[in-house]
Amino acid sequence: MRRLKSEVIGKDAVRLGAYLLASWALIGGAAGEARMVQSVAPPGTFTREAWQQTSGQKEVTARSVGERLILTSNVSLSDYAAYRRDERFYVIIPHAKLANAAAVRALPGASAESRGDDLVLSFRLRPDSGARVNQRFNRLEIAFTGPGSTAVNSSVLSASDADRSSMRSEEKRREEGRQKANSAPSSTASSTAIAIQSSSASSSTAIATPSPEVGEDRRPASEAKVEDARRPTLVKKGWLAAALIFALLLALLSARALSTRSGRRSETNDELRRAEGGTPEFGSLPDWESEASPAREVGESQRPMDRREDHLPTMGEDRTDEGAVETRVGIGAERREGRVAGDFREEVESEEELWRSIATAFDDPIRERREEAARALVQIAERSAKSRAEIFARALLEADAERRRRIGEAICSAGLADEAISRLGNEDEEAREAFALLFVLAKAGELEPLARAIQESESNRTRLTIVRLLALCDHPDVLPTLKRLVAQTELPSDVRSALMEAIYQQSSAKLSAERRASG
């Protein structure tokens, strides 16, 4: 068994080393490429990182030319959205504000308004007319088409061609400026300034109304410039190779330590089983019990019944000389004076009786006793092939309404709910098991930990997962909880949208249930 464990751990160590190697290679390659790109950029041009640090909301300027509207911004407008509803045509630009709304309102039936951080433009269309949107870098052109508008369409096309030609000439001049900067660093600033001035002059002659244009970097020439970063990359310094070697050695040492520790624990468990003369019903004894009771030579009659364990609950099985089976369930907590409930021990003859004794403990009026019962169910799940959610779901199905409520309270007070919420952000089997346990908790009616996680969690992914969980639960208290969160909590826009969708889903399900009941 020890050899098999060592082989499994060794394979896991090899996989871990391979994953670390691939991750460091990807991170190092991306960092090196970013620094190389930054090092060859001429001093006098903008980088995307510098612009993102200095800009917040997009500045949009509008100007109307006939029956078309041209919008110009200081950054790219590729994230716009456009759609038509009835006789209105809408254009939405996220995180933007309009500097001159009068230019939009000059068009018949046009309006401009702000919805949160977004800019919404609306236009009234004739029944026989349409609209189209042309976007290029930081320009957004809205043209209206229909019968009798041939001249307008031709002017739009000619203006678009002129814009494209001016942008091509500007890109060409900027490319020439970069080449000159690489060949002669001392004359870079003057070359770039001449290229920018010539491009702005050609742009002003091609279009009657001047507007700030952008090149391939999509940055206006009027903002502050970043310094040239010519620093050595990680690859040149050899730090990446050293980090990879260190990570691989660390993984191998960790795997060897785990293998040695597992072998020692296995030997200790084997010795304890031989001393007891039997095999436990629920698996081998846990490691902490082997450490806490090294001398198991005393008989059952000499074992004190009021001994306390400073560990989580255990389930072991001791066989006496007469062949009777005594199953001992220990649900422990910290040893402290004046504790009301002691160890949870019951002498039972079968696993079914053990289950009933633990389920009955949830009816105890003492809170510590109910928490111990919840931890006992966790120990049963860890020693069997079932998950925590399956064990607690069975306890809820076999309980009445009052016991269900107490089971939910015990899950929360024992810290199992907070532990499951902290695992929701992962992408592994533990996250799926945590989701199932929290769903069982919601079915029991304990919604306060979930609502508190939606309000206070730092991870939007955890918040959205809990909202989807509540949307699937049919408990009658879920809908009021969702409405309270929307009305009283300042939440990110995506979380608020998910809450509204969950409220709609819950309301529809409730209405359908009422119709079926009345029909």
Provide the residue ranges of all domains of the chain, joining segments of one domain with +.
2-40+233-275, 56-165+201-206, 287-518
Q: Residue 9: pLDDT above 60?
A: no
Centre a 10 Å sphere on the Cβ of residue 18 and count the other Cβ atoms it contains.
12
Cα–Cα distances in angstroms (integers) from residue 180 to residues 184, 197, 198, 274, in the given order: 6, 16, 16, 84
Centre a 10 Å sphere on the Cβ of residue 156 and count the other Cβ atoms it contains.
23
Cα–Cα distances in angstroms (integers) from residue 361 to residues 312, 341, 350, in the given order: 17, 11, 17
Can you tell me the distance from the alpha carbon of 389 to that of 498, in angstroms, rounded to the nearest whole number?
Answer: 25
Q: Determine which helix (DSSP H) or strand (DSSP E) holds 172, and give its type and residue range.
A: helix 150-183
Question: Using one digit for the tens of pLDDT, what is the confidence trace for 236-281?
Answer: 456 777 777 888 888 877 777 776 666 655 555 555 454 444 333 3
Question: Using one digit for the tens of pLDDT, what is the confidence trace for 153-194?
Answer: 433 334 445 555 666 777 777 788 777 766 654 444 444 433
pTM, two decimals, is: 0.34
- pLDDT in the model for residue 325: 29
Can you tell me the distance from the alpha carbon of 46 to that of 221, in angstroms, rounded to the nearest whole number?
Answer: 8
Can you tell me the distance from the alpha carbon of 162 to that of 450, in angstroms, rounded to the nearest whole number?
Answer: 58
For residue 193, the number of C-alpha atoms closer than 13 Å in the C-beta half-sphere is: 4
Q: What value does the mean pLDDT of the chain take?
A: 66
Q: Provide the terminal-to-terminal Cα distance of the chain, rounded to the nearest Å.
A: 63
Please report which residue ranges of 277-350 form alpha helices under DSSP H: 287-292
- pLDDT in the model for residue 500: 92
Cα–Cα distances in angstroms (integers) from residue 494 to residues 83, 499, 500, in the given order: 21, 9, 10
- pLDDT in the model for residue 15: 65
At 77, list the tokens. 């407008």
Higher pLDDT, 339 or 400: 400
Q: Measured on CA atoms in the order 419, 421, 424, 430, is the torsion positive or negative?
A: positive
CATH class of the domain at 56-165+201-206: mainly beta
- pLDDT in the model for residue 25: 59
